[in-house]
Amino acid sequence: MISVTMAAALVSFILTQSIHAAPISQHPPPNSTAFSINYSDACNDLRHCRTMWSIVYSCLLTIFACVWTAIHPDMPKQYSAWSFGIGSRIFEMSLTLISPELAVWAAWTEFSEARRISKKCAGIQGWTFTHSYFVVMSGFFDSSKQNAVKPDENEDPSTLFEKYPGIIDKSGGQRKVAVTREGVLDKSKGNFFAKSIVVLQLLWFATQYVGRWASHLPRSQLEAMTLAYAALSILVYALWWHKPLDVHFPICVTEEAHPDSPNPDAITDQALPKMENTSNPASPPADTIEPSSLWILVVTGIIFGGVHCLAWSFPFPTRAETLLWRISAIIITVGPGPFAWGMARWEKKDYFSGRLFGGSTMLLYPVARVILFTLTFTSLRSPPRDLYRTTSWTSFIPHLE
C-alpha cells in the first residue's frame, strides 16, 4: 500500500537524520549529499530558514489532511472501527493515495445524484441538500425489507419517500421532512469548523508554494506532489461539503401499509422548485450543465498531472531521474483521457476499444505513480541550497506545522 510505503519512507528519513558519528563541519565535503544535513550556506538567518525535517513533515501532514479528512465514506453495511474492506475509510484512503482522480470522480457522481434528488424534492418543506446526500449514502434503511431507501435513475424520489412516514411527514395536509437537517447532521462526525481548518491548511500550503515561485526560490518534488493532492482535495471538499461525515448507523424507517392518495396541493408545490431554492440556501443551483462523470477524470487528470509537470525543470540528482519524472508526469496527465474514452466505448458495446484504451491506461498509470512517488523522496538526497530558505510573510498565515 502507498500509505505503508509513505510511512516507511518517513521512518527511514527520521533514522537518517539521527545517525551522526561526528559533528558536521561548517562546509560539507564536496562528494557528500545534502539529505543528511539541515542547513545551507545561503541560509544564514534561522528566522528565514527551514530544515529538511520541516519540509517533509509539513508535506506529509498536508497530504494526510487532504486524503484522510476529505474522504466521506457511505454508510457501512456493518460498522467496524478497523474495517479494511471495500467502502471502508481506510480502503478509500489507500485508493485515493494511489489515484486521487477517482475520489473526485466519486464525489462528482454523488453530487450529481444528490442534486437530482434535491430538484425532485424541492416541494417538500425542509428538504435540503444534506437530506439528498443522506439518501445517496444509504442513510435511510427499510428495516422490513432489509434494504436502503434509495431511488433508481428512473424513479421519482419524492414518490418513493412519501411511502415512508419516517422520511416525509404528511400530517396537516403538508409534506415536510420527518428528520430535520440538524437531526441528520447530529449523526455526522464533521462540522463546518473542522472542515474549515483543513481547507485553511491546504490554502496555506498552496500560498507558500506560490510565494516561493514568485520569490524565485526552489521547490522540492515532494512539495509539487503535495500541491497536486491539495488541488484535488479542495474539489472533493467542495463537492462533499454538505455530505454527512462518518455516519456509522442509518436511520431505520418502515413503509406505511396503505399510503395516502396523492395530494393535489403537494403536486402543485412540487412543480414550483424555484420557491424552495429561494428559501433554502443549502440547495444547489437549479440549472447547471452536468458533464459526463467519466470526463471528470479527464479534467482531474490534467490538474493532478499538470501540477506534477510544474517540476519539469526542477533539479534532479541524475539525468535518468529527470527523464523518468517527465515521462511519468505526462502519463498521469494524459492517461485519464484514453481511460475515459475507453470506458465510454465499453458502455456502447465496443469492447475492443474499451480493452485497448482502458486496459493499457490501467497498466501504465500505476507504474507511473510508483515512479513519481519514489523519485519524490530520492530527489531529497541532493536538494539545492536555497531550498532551505523561506519567505517570511507565509509564517503570518494560520496553519498546522
Over 80: is that where the pLDDT of 183 sits?
yes
Q: What is the DSSP letter of 278?
A: H
Q: Which of 359, 391, 305, 316 is nearest to 99 (CA)?
A: 305
Higher-confidence position of 30 and 361: 361
The answer on pLDDT for 330 being more than 70 is yes
Q: Position of cell 395536509? A: 173
Percent of the chain topping pLDDT 90: 17
pLDDT band at 200 (very low <50, low <70, confident <90, very high): confident
**pLDDT class of 392 with cuts at 50, 70, 90:** low
Within-domain flag for 159: no
**Model confidence pLDDT, tens digit, residues 63-93:** 888 788 778 887 776 655 555 556 567 778 8
Over residues 147-168, the pLDDT tens digits come to: 888 888 888 888 899 889 889 9
pLDDT above 80 (res 213): yes
On whether residue 308 sits in a domain, the answer given is: yes
For residue 113, the model assigns a pLDDT of 92
| b/e 52-71 (16+ beta carbons within 10 angstroms → b) | beebbebbbbbbebbbbbbb
> Does 331 fall in a domain?
yes
For residues 349-377, average pLDDT = 80
Whole-number Cα distances in Å, 363 to 33, 290, 357: 35, 30, 10
| pLDDT bracket for residue 225 (50, 70, 90) | very high
- How confident is the model over 302-324, as a mean pLDDT? 92
Q: Is residue 375 part of a domain?
A: yes
Closest by Cα among 79, 175, 185 to 131: 185
Contacts of 130 (CB under 8 A, 6+ apart): 181, 184, 185, 242, 243, 244, 282
Residue 311's domain spans which residues?
Answer: 291-379
Strand partners, 252: 141
Pick the closest to residue 251 from 159, 163, 190, 185 (CA basis).
185
In a domain, 295, yes or no: yes
pLDDT classification of 134: cutoffs 50, 70, 90: very high
Identify whether 352 is part of a domain.
yes
How many separate domains does the chain show? Answer: 1
Q: Where are the beta strands (DSSP E) in 31-115?
A: none
Examine residue 182 and state whether it is found in any structural domain, yes or no. Answer: no
pLDDT tens by residue, 4-42: 444 445 434 433 443 333 343 344 444 444 443 344 445
Question: What average pLDDT does the chain have?
Answer: 75
Q: Out of 173-177, 247-251, 312-316, give the one with best mean pLDDT.
A: 312-316
Mean pLDDT of all residues in 124-137: 92
Please check whether residue 190 lies inside any domain of the structure. no
Indicate whether 389 pLDDT > 90.
no
% of the chain with per-residue pLDDT over 70: 69
Which pLDDT band, with edges at 50, 70 and 90, does 55 fall under? confident
